[in-house]
Amino acid sequence: MTRFIFITGGVVSSLGKGLMAASLAALLQARGYKVRIRKFDPYLNVDPGTMSPYQHGEVYVTDDGAETDLDLGHYERFTGVPSRQSDNVTSGRIYQTIIAKERRGDYLGATVQVIPHVTDAIKAFARTDVDDLDFVLCEIGGTVGDIESLPFIEAMRQLRNDLSRGAFISVHVTLVPFIAAAGELKTKPTQHSVRELTSLGIQPDVLVCRCERPLPAGERAKIAAFCNVRPEAVIPALDAKSIYAVPLQYHGEGLDVEVLRAFGIEPGPSPDLRRWDDIMDRLTNPEGEVTIGVVGKYVGLPDAYKSLSEALVHGGISNRVKVNLRWLDAELFEQEGRDIAAELEPMHGILVPGGFGERGSEGKIRSVQFARERSVPFFGICLGMQMACIEGARNLAGIDKASTTEFGPTEEPVVGLITEWMTAGGLQKREEGGDLGGTMRLGAYDAKLAGNSHVSAIYGATDIQERHRHRYEVNVHYKDALEKGGLVFSGMSPDGELPEIVERPDHPWFVGVQFHPELKSKPFDPHPLFASFIEAAVKQSRLV
């Protein structure tokens, strides 16, 4: 029998529901259960693909090409279970599906309403592809009491009745604030939040209480009494030194035990948490440190690069070093008279990440040039690879006007919009004026690596598969000219038409990739490119 755990949040947003869900799933997994995590987002966008990173943070991409909430990245990093398109749904996607069916006449003239049509669609999403699972964790975005999330809460209530007894529990994450003037933790916000949820027909089985001070037994008992749960089911959640300490912390507070007891399952032996113990040992006892400069466009909001920053941490875990990230605004590097060298010289590695649009592009190109000329380890991802190709074209291949059609018409389109390419499933086509998501190469694609290349040695393979999210490609017609300038195309699509990886053999570590390797990195399984990049940064740190 598949059991469902619905996770809601109350009082305020940003309480860490996603990390809690990921940590709980990791703990259940460590007990031998098969798990999957899903995210319900109440906003009306069909997906976050067209949303600004400053609005939403990173867009996470799955193997099957879904653009999803960044919480799905946490889910994968903590469980190793690849997310799918069916693991993230928004109100917009629900309504889009329902309206399409209504226009086709699928409802046979019936009045289409929130109940039952919207709630039935939400329930159907929750129950899709779960036959082989022990637990499905469903996180509902937003805060209880928001009007946007009401259909999802109502669908929860209905699903609890639809399922067999013992197949559904509710975990509610709330805030217990500390009032400095009074010197007290206050339980009233949690009481009101639970009352709000209960008024909507959901009695939580477990409460996770975020607090910045330890939760005394008296307050814990008070919350239990007013919120109709057992005192042991009130789980304190204090801030952790690292997000990878959270599973151990929740286990120490008994979260996994209380969740199993809520289902009537005897917890049994303790879970095998050696994986997490080793990760924390490497994080808390590093044998050195390196500084990586990330020259990007959205550096004002680190969540815009969430998977990237975590993948760099994973590279540090692999090499047992602390990774210090220096976020550098690419636009500032475009200012006349700006001393880029002074800002980049302290870096042991330079990374230029993905992005869209022209803003900051010349600053990224100057960063690539600095890394190439000074022999500093360089890693270019997506747009970062494209900027590396344009830099090489301008400065080494004699193509002074090299640019990308993404920024407008150009005489030398070293990077351009590709509208057709071959895949294992056949010819893929895109329209230049199509919907923004529809013009992208999204999801997992195969690549073939040159057998004598640096990257094939890093991967230990010549056939790889990585996730993509981009509209523009390096123009293969410039391959010969760029290779004469020393930039080797060491990874190509299987048909040889789409450049996937470039590298410089005459450089200590210079790699550009068209895909997003950060999306597949995990703390217990660091992506080989990030592990190798940080290893090169460690060597660089010993030279400066």
Average pLDDT of the residues in 530-539: 97
Question: Is it the case that residue 188 has pLDDT exceeding 90?
Answer: yes
Banded model confidence at residue 426, pLDDT cuts 50, 70, 90: low
pLDDT band for 421, please (50, 70, 90 cuts): low
Mean pLDDT for the stretch of residues 192-196: 96
Q: Which residues of 297-312 are buried (b: 16+ CB within 10 A; e: fewer)?
A: bbbebbebbbbbbbbb
Q: What is the pLDDT of residue 432?
A: 58
Label residues 251-286 b or e (16+ Cβ within 10 Å = b). bebbbbbbbbbbbeeeeeeebebebbeebbebbeeb
Identify whether 516 is a catalytic site residue: yes
- Average pLDDT rounded to a whole number, residues 197-221: 95
Q: Does the pLDDT at position 425 exceed 70? A: no
Evaluate whether 412 touches 402 at the Cβ level (below 8 Å): yes
pLDDT value, residue 315 = 98
Share of the chain above pLDDT 90, in %: 80
Identify the pLDDT of residue 48. Answer: 87
Annotated catalytic residue, options 209, 211, 227, 382: 382
Mean pLDDT of the chain: 92
What pLDDT is attached to residue 43?
Answer: 92
pLDDT single digits (tens) 2-30: 999 999 999 988 899 999 999 999 999 99
Query: Distance between alpha carbon 310 and the CA centroid of its chain, in Å?
Result: 9
Number of Cβ atoms within 10 Å of the Cβ of 129: 11
Strands (E), 155-300: 168-175, 178-179, 184-185, 206-210, 234-237, 289-296
Please, are residues 387 and 403 in contact by the beta-carbon 8 Å criterion?
no
User: pLDDT (tens digit, 9 = 90+) per residue, 427-463?
Assistant: 666 565 555 445 688 999 999 999 999 999 999 999 9
Note the pLDDT of residue 439: 66
302 has a pLDDT exceeding 90? no
The tokens describing 263, both together, are: 């289902």
> CA 19, 39, 229, 207: dihedral to nearest 10 degrees?
20
Instruction: Flag whether pLDDT at 83 surpasses 90.
Output: yes
- What is the arrangement of strands in the sheet containing 234-237, beginning at the earlier edge strand? 88-90, 35-41, 135-140, 3-9, 168-175, 206-210, 234-237
Whether residue 340 has pLDDT greater than 80: yes
Token pair in block for residue 541: 């740190």
Per-residue pLDDT, averaged over 117-139, amounts to: 94
User: How confident is residue 478, by pLDDT bands cut at 50, 70 and 90?
Assistant: very high
Q: What local confidence, expressed as pLDDT, does residue 55 receive?
A: 75
Calculate helix-pair angle for 246-253, 274-284, nearest 10 degrees: 120
Residue 366 confidence (pLDDT) above 90: yes
For 445-464, the DSSP string reads EEEEE-TTSHHHHHHT-SEE
Radius of gyration of the chain (CA): 25
CB contact at 8 A, 345 and 366: no
Instruction: Find out whether 512 and 380 touch, Cβ atoms under 8 Å.
Output: yes
Q: Which domains are delineated in the chain?
A: 3-279 (3.40.50.300), 287-541 (3.40.50.880)
Instruction: Write down the catalytic residue from 139, 516, 527, 535.
Output: 516
253, 518, 527, 535: which is the annotated catalytic residue? 518
pLDDT of residue 435: 52
Q: Which region holds residue 166: left if phi is over 0, alpha if psi is between -120 and 50, else beta?
A: left
d(CA 16, CA 9): 9
Q: How far apart are CA 515 and CA 494, in angstroms?
A: 15
Give the C-alpha separation, 471 to 503, whole Å.
22
Residue 180 is predicted with a pLDDT of 87
The answer, as to whether pTM is greater than 0.85, is: yes
Query: If you average pLDDT over residues 302-315, what whole number do you get?
Result: 93
Query: Alpha-carbon distance 182 to 388, whole Å?
Result: 56
530 phi/psi in degrees, rounded to 5: -70, -40
Looking at the chain, the whole-number percentage of residues with pLDDT higher than 70 is: 96
